[in-house]
Chain A
Amino acid sequence: MRISALIKRISQQLLRDKRTLALMFVAPLLVLTLMYFLFNGNTVDPKLGVVGIDQNLVNGFEKAHIKVKEYEKATSSTVIDDDLDGLLKADSGSGKITLTLRNDDPNTAKALQMKINQVSAAQVQAKLIQQNPAATNITPQKIETKYVFGDKDTVFFDVLSPILVGFFVFFFVFIISGIGLLRERTTGTLERLMSTPIRRWEIVTAYLAGYGIFAVIQTFIVVVYAITVLDIVLAGSIFHVILINLLLALVALSLGILLSSFAASEFQMMQFIPIAVIPQVFFAGIFPLDGMANWLQAFAKIMPMYYAGDALKDVMYKGAGLSEISGDLTALVIFAAIFIVLNILALKKYRAL
């Protein structure tokens, strides 16, 4: 009865705070949509200036989606003046070819360089075959590509989105539950609560359940929106996705409430974001863990988002079943259990019993 009274009160408070509700339910969708459009933008064809380059090669470039502009004379300043991505120049005397890359964006520069190399290699090969028809046999066979996960249309966002879905659930639940209990601390109502015969575990349970209800709704909205509206790849079951996110929300809830006991104001609660939230992103699987230093890999293992990100990626992208993610789920349950126990202990600050 005390627990249900507390849950009812938390819900009443949240329902009357329209802005917080909006932050919880609309903000994740907004950011997710933005990310979707950012990562799915069309790539622009690179622009290449050429001086004294063979017409065959130029035709090859154009076929490979490079915009070619021919010059009589050009220097590296032409690259800047005409907003080119690169300049390919054949020395009229020696015939030596030089590629000057603008390289203001390393990705574009590398892609252009690769295309140019491919096209010129193909040209050389074609010439060889012309000169020596017998060599036709020794050209490499066309290689067929198969994919274990995803297909040829897979983009980075498909791999990233499961992690984003999890991260938004984590972030917003963390902030809102943390500040919720913090307000109760700063206004003195928590102390007031402690002068009633309520037990500490009852408060923690009620807080988990009260904010948990909203976290469940938020998780549901975010997951359904990501899958149906944004058409994010979902190879596995949506129920597994929701299950993972619910456990993650529970971890975020208990961690938010716990950290709020070390904050004296909303501003100090915000200071936990760079310490407790941002590092989670780095270890959630956006950056491959294998390449990290050993101590960094060990560090990742104490991050709840590492397990959630791994499980979400497995289910949403690789289509894993429950048995394959059970290890990750167990880890999340352990995190939540630890934080909950610490919460009950932290409330001792307000009442000896």
Chain B
Amino acid sequence: MNPTIKVEKVSKSFGKMPVLKDVNLTIEKGQLFGLIGPSGAGKTTVVKMIVGMEKVDTGSIHVLNEKMPKLAILQKIGYMAQSDALYVELTGEENLKFFASLFRLNKKEQKRRISYAADLVNLTPDLKKRVSAYSGGMKRRLSLAIALIQDPKLLILDEPTVGIDPELKLSIWNELLRLKNQEGKTIIVTTHVMDEAERCDVVAMVRDGRILASGTPSELKNFYHVSSLDEVFLKAGVKQHANLGVN
């Protein structure tokens, strides 16, 4: 079976600034895939290209066997952006309804999905409140609920736990694992926190627009003979620089 996402030899630059250099990724169905790396490494650009919001300069991206960008595939992708893009004048429910309509869910389906998604992120009691009255954590949860609204096969979450308290962070991660295990969803998460990376099935380490290393967390640790992903990251970085030096 073909992988859910296949990124092949993708390079991209903004103006004269190269942001991605020869990126290759393969993400299988039902995987929880982590893109780890410091801010500015190019994680968001990779994610945006998978969604089809950015064009690749060279190389190709296939999602669910379709070459991106393709509008029809967006129906199957739940995307949560790095910043909470919400309509603060509207209530939580109105935000959910709006996005549900954009995915062309019918009335009955809308109702079912809204109550499911709101329940999932514990926002049911606050649905009638305007988003301007929400706390930061509530906004983050609403964004996650919106990403889940159309029951997508593929979830792409760009730094979903930034600015969230540890308790909520844990509950979001438990939910992601449940979505993966019980509903067989493919999930991509970007993060710069290593302990989150430990929970992923496969991680890819991104730095300066390149994939330094990828594999399961234990594979990576064994390969570099270290005990934590932090150290993997450091070692892989050094190796990269050494390679560059040889070239």
Mark A residues whose CB is within 8 Å of B: 1-2, 4-6, 8-9, 12-13, 16-17, 187-189, 191-199, 350-353
Return chain A residues, CB-CB under 8 Å to B84. 188
Q: Is the CB of B53 within 8 A of A352?
A: yes
Chain B residue, CB-CB nearest to A5: B101
Question: In the complex, what distance in Å separates the CA atom of A5 from the CA atom of B51?
Answer: 22
Q: Is the CB of B69 within 8 A of A351?
A: yes
Q: Is the CB of B52 within 8 A of A351?
A: yes
Return chain A residues, CB-CB under 8 Å to B79. 192, 195
Is there a chain A Cβ closer than 8 Å to B116's Cβ?
no
Return chain A residues, CB-CB under 8 Å to B88. 187
Question: In the complex, what distance in Å separates the CA atom of A117 from the CA atom of B4?
Answer: 94
Per a CB cutoff under 8 Å, which of A9, A188, A350 touches B98? A9
Q: Is the CB of B69 within 8 A of A188?
A: no
- Taking chain B's interface residues, is the majority helix, strand, or loop, or is none over half, making it mixed? loop
Counting contact residues on chain B (CB < 8 A from A), the size range is: 20 to 34
Q: Is the CB of B103 within 8 A of A197?
A: yes
Return chain B residues, CB-CB under 8 Å to A194. 53
Is there a chain A Cβ closer than 8 Å to B172's Cβ?
no
- CB contact list, B78-122 vs A, under 8 A: 79, 81, 83-90, 94, 98-99, 101-104
Give 9 nearest A-B pairs by CB, closest first: A5-B101, A192-B85, A188-B85, A352-B55, A195-B79, A353-B69, A197-B74, A189-B85, A196-B102
Per a CB cutoff under 8 Å, which of B55, B81, B101 touches A195? B81
Q: Is the CB of B98 within 8 A of A5?
A: yes
Per a CB cutoff under 8 Å, which of A2, A12, A352 touches B54? A352
Return chain B residues, CB-CB under 8 Å to A16. 89-90
Q: Is the CB of B90 within 8 A of A193?
A: no
Distance (whole angstroms) from the CB of A64 to the closest CB of chain B: 62
With A9-B98, A197-B103 known to touch, is A191 a contact of B85 (CB < 8 Å)? yes
Distance (whole angstroms) from the CB of B146 to the closest CB of chain A: 8
Chain B residue, CB-CB nearest to A198: B102
Additional A-B contact list (9), CB under 8 Å, known A189-B85, A191-B81, A197-B71? A6-B102, A9-B87, A13-B87, A189-B87, A191-B53, A350-B53, A352-B53, A352-B54, A352-B69
Q: Is the CB of A2 within 8 A of B101?
A: yes
Q: Is the CB of B90 within 8 A of A195?
A: no
Question: In the complex, what distance in Å separates the CA atom of A257 from the CA atom of B86?
Answer: 20
Question: In the complex, what distance in Å separates the CA atom of A1 from the CA atom of B94?
Answer: 15
Per a CB cutoff under 8 Å, which of A4, A191, A197 touches B72? A197
Q: Is the CB of B90 within 8 A of A353?
A: no
Per a CB cutoff under 8 Å, which of A2, A12, A13, A17 touches B104? A2
Chain B residue, CB-CB nearest to A348: B55
Q: Is the CB of B98 within 8 A of A195?
A: no
Question: In the complex, what distance in Å separates the CA atom of A208 from the CA atom of B52?
Answer: 25
Is there a chain A Cβ closer than 8 Å to B129's Cβ?
no
Per a CB cutoff under 8 Å, which of A1, A191, A197, A199 touches B75? A197
Chain B residue, CB-CB nearest to A17: B89
Is there a chain A Cβ closer than 8 Å to B202's Cβ?
no
Is there a chain A Cβ closer than 8 Å to B32's Cβ?
no
Q: Is the CB of B52 within 8 A of A192?
A: no
Per a CB cutoff under 8 Å, which of B71, B77, B83 touches A353? B71
Is there a chain A Cβ closer than 8 Å to B128's Cβ?
no
Chain B residue, CB-CB nearest to A10: B87
Return chain B residues, CB-CB under 8 Å to A2. 101-102, 104
**Can you show 28 pairs from A to B with CB atoms below 8 A apart?**
A1-B104, A2-B102, A2-B104, A4-B101, A9-B87, A9-B90, A9-B94, A187-B83, A187-B86, A188-B83, A188-B84, A189-B87, A191-B53, A192-B79, A192-B85, A195-B53, A195-B77, A196-B74, A196-B99, A197-B71, A197-B102, A198-B102, A199-B71, A351-B52, A352-B52, A352-B54, A352-B69, A353-B52
Q: Is the CB of A13 within 8 A of B69?
A: no
Distance (whole angstroms) from the CB of B94 to the closest CB of chain A: 7
Chain A residue, CB-CB nearest to B76: A197
Is there a chain A Cβ closer than 8 Å to B70's Cβ?
yes
Chain A residue, CB-CB nearest to B84: A188
Chain B residue, CB-CB nearest to A350: B53
Among B53, B75, B79, B104, the one with the most A-chain Cβ atoms within 10 Å of its Cβ is B53
Question: In the complex, what distance in Å separates the CA atom of A193 from the CA atom of B72?
Answer: 14
Return chain A residues, CB-CB under 8 Å to B102. 2, 5-6, 193, 196-198
Q: Is the CB of B83 within 8 A of A12?
A: no
Q: Is the CB of B101 within 8 A of A1?
A: yes
Q: Is the CB of B81 within 8 A of A192?
A: yes
Return chain B residues, CB-CB under 8 Å to A13. 87, 89-90
Return chain B residues, CB-CB under 8 Å to A353. 52, 69-71
With A9-B87, A12-B90, A188-B83 known to touch, is A196 a contact of B103 (CB < 8 Å)? yes
Chain A residue, CB-CB nearest to B101: A5
Question: In the complex, what distance in Å separates the CA atom of A192 from the CA atom of B70?
Answer: 16
Return chain B residues, CB-CB under 8 Å to A8. 98
Among A5, A12, A187, A192, the one with the most B-chain Cβ atoms within 10 Å of its Cβ is A192
- CB contact list, B167-196 vs A, under 8 A: none
Distance (whole angstroms) from the CB of A107 to the closest CB of chain B: 49
Question: In the complex, what distance in Å separates the CA atom of A228 from the CA atom of B197?
Answer: 70
Return chain B residues, CB-CB under 8 Å to A195. 51, 53, 74, 77, 79, 81
Distance (whole angstroms) from the CB of B87 to the closest CB of chain A: 6
Distance (whole angstroms) from the CB of A202 to the closest CB of chain B: 9
Chain A residue, CB-CB nearest to B79: A195
